[in-house]
């Protein structure tokens, strides 16, 4: 059996792993990066996650009036596939251009704490390294509901981003962030979409007014929501699926041409044989790490979704910085250094959030000021009217004693950009008053802050 010894072995071509591999390789270290599929060079984000889903959402938003729905989806899927292929090639080239970095395609499993076997067909290679980084990401969870896994019509998000046939009736099981993004996207492409959410309301982490405003924009697109809905079984009949669900004691049925399972993702560790390396996992299946992202074996790190942290590609990127500081720097950087990490739900318009909700701030004992306005009533935001998207609302939660921004929810055009400005202000102690009185370009979405933050009330 062939063998290879390197200074650093990275398992998984995700954002954190590839960034760390490139940085270590550029510093002259011998690096091997193992990825199980050539179709996943670059990781989840560019291949089956952020990039393709957001590209499809963009195409759905850009669909021309009168355009045949099925043609619109086919065109969008084709253009998205071309984009992801180009990004995948570029990601491979980024590492291949570094002489000391070797990309190996195959499945990895630990033999012991410093040895990993990589298999591809009948070929076997043993890679040894004093430092190993696991970056294998996460995978969709399909609940153990009778008939759901075996149905010919069950789909994951990975399936749908590649499907060129538009389902006339789409059932989305799960009203979380992924489910709502796909619900809005497919409604715009022309599907009749029903979302079955097990909880009593959508987006329970958000304030009720923000959650309802977000749901309202999706209802505008024709999405139907059923809350307190527990799916009990799925059957296939006459070329379609029948989804049986309960609300309270009453059972209902709904027909579907496709059933999207959007009930979460779990760390992808199957087949790694972590026990052979002595790497512990948590009760949820994530690899257990400390604040420096070291596992129960200090020379083995876990970065990105596989360590159970927030499932964002930019968190994976920051994970790589923490590990790089351990390997090349002072070793002082930790995951505890993170403040005001924002996130965006790419509905139309997008919902972007950072920090505390109003509910969380009050429960934490803050005396709170709330500055909020519907986008349609913000006179100082003509951009919303220019682009024809005046739905949504902006809401800031402010500490009354210090004027510090505790959190913000921005449901508006450009919110995915605006939220970064708010997060930066929060990290550096810029007050609500300072953000309110700053000079912004015109016409822009940011200038809405001048008006909204002037409306603070108890």
Environment class of 275 (CB within 10 Å of its CB; exposed 0-12, middle 13-18, buried 19+): exposed
Rounded CA-CA distance 100/308 in Å is 30
Cα–Cα distances (Å) from 373 to 8, 354, 369, 416, in that order, read 51, 17, 13, 18
183 and 193 in contact (C-beta within 8 Å)? Answer: yes
Two tokens at 382?
Answer: 């003509």
81 and 162 in contact (C-beta within 8 Å)? Answer: yes
Two tokens at 124?
Answer: 């076997």
Rounded CA-CA distance 371/353 in Å is 15
SS3 at position 126? strand
Which residue(s) pair with 44 in the sheet? none
227 and 175 in contact (C-beta within 8 Å)? Answer: yes
Q: From the CB of residue 442, how many other CB atoms can be counted at a distance below 10 Å?
A: 11
In the chain, helix, strand, coil percent, each to 5?
Answer: 35, 30, 40
* Contacts with 399 (C-beta within 8 Å, 6 or more apart), sequence order: 361, 366, 367, 368, 369, 405, 406
* Contacts with 73 (C-beta within 8 Å, 6 or more apart), sequence order: 164, 165, 166, 189, 190
**Nearest CA-CA partner of 300 in 321, 326, 282:** 326
Instruction: Enumerate the active-site residues.
Output: 442
Rounded CA-CA distance 187/73 in Å is 11
Rounded CA-CA distance 432/294 in Å is 38
């Amino acid at each position: 059996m062939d063998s290879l010894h390197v200074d650093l072995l990275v398992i998984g071509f995700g954002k954190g792993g590839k960034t760390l591999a490139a940085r270590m390789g550029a510093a002259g270290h011998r690096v091997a990066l193992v990825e199980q599929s050539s179709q996943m060079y670059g990781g989840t984000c560019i291949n089956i996650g952020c990039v393709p889903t957001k590209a499809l959402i963009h195409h759905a938003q850009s669909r021309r009036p009168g355009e045949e729905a099925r043609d619109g989806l086919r065109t969008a899927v084709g253009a998205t596939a071309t984009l992801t292929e180009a990004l995948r090639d570029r990601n491979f080239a980024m590492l291949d251009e570094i002489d000391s970095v070797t990309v190996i395609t195959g499945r990895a499993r630990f033999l012991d704490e410093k040895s990993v076997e990589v298999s591809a067909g009948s070929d076997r290679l043993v890679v040894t390294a004093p430092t190993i980084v696991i970056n294998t990401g996460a995978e969709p969870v399909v609940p153990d509901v009778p008939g759901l896994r075996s149905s010919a019509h069950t789909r994951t998000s990975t399936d749908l981003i590649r499907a060129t046939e538009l389902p006339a009736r789409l059932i989305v099981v799960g009203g979380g962030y992924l489910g709502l993004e796909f619900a809005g996207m497919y409604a715009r492409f022309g599907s009749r979409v029903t979302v079955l959410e097990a909880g009593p309301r959508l987006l329970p982490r958000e304030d009720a007014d923000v959650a309802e405003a977000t749901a309202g924009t999706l209802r505008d697109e024709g999405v139907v929501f059923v809350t307190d809905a527990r799916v009990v079984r799925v059957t296939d009949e006459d070329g379609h699926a029948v989804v049986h669900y309960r609300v309270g004691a009453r059972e209902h049925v709904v027909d579907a041409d496709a059933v999207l399972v959007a009930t979460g993702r779990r760390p992808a560790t199957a087949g790694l044989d972590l026990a052979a390396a002595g790497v512990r996992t948590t009760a949820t299946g994530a690899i257990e790490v400390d604040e420096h992202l070291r596992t129960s074996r200090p020379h083995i790190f876990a970065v990105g979704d596989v360590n159970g942290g927030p499932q964002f590609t930019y968190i994976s990127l920051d994970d790589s910085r923490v590990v790089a500081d351990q390997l090349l720097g002072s070793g002082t950087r930790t995951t505890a250094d993170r403040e005001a990490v924002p996130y965006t739900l790419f509905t139309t318009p997008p919902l972007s959030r950072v920090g505390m909700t109003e509910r969380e701030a009050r429960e934490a004992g803050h005396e709170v000021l709330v500055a909020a306005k519907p986008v349609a009533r913000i006179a100082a935001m003509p951009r919303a009217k220019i682009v024809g998207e005046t739905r949504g609302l902006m809401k800031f939660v402010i500490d009354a004693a210090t004027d510090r921004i505790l959190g913000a929810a921005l449901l508006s055009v450009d919110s995915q950009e605006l939220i970064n400005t708010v997060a930066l202000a929060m990290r550096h102690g810029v007050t609500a008053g300072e953000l309110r009185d700053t000079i912004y370009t015109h016409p822009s979405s940011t200038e809405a802050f001048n008006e909204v933050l002037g409306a603070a009330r108890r």
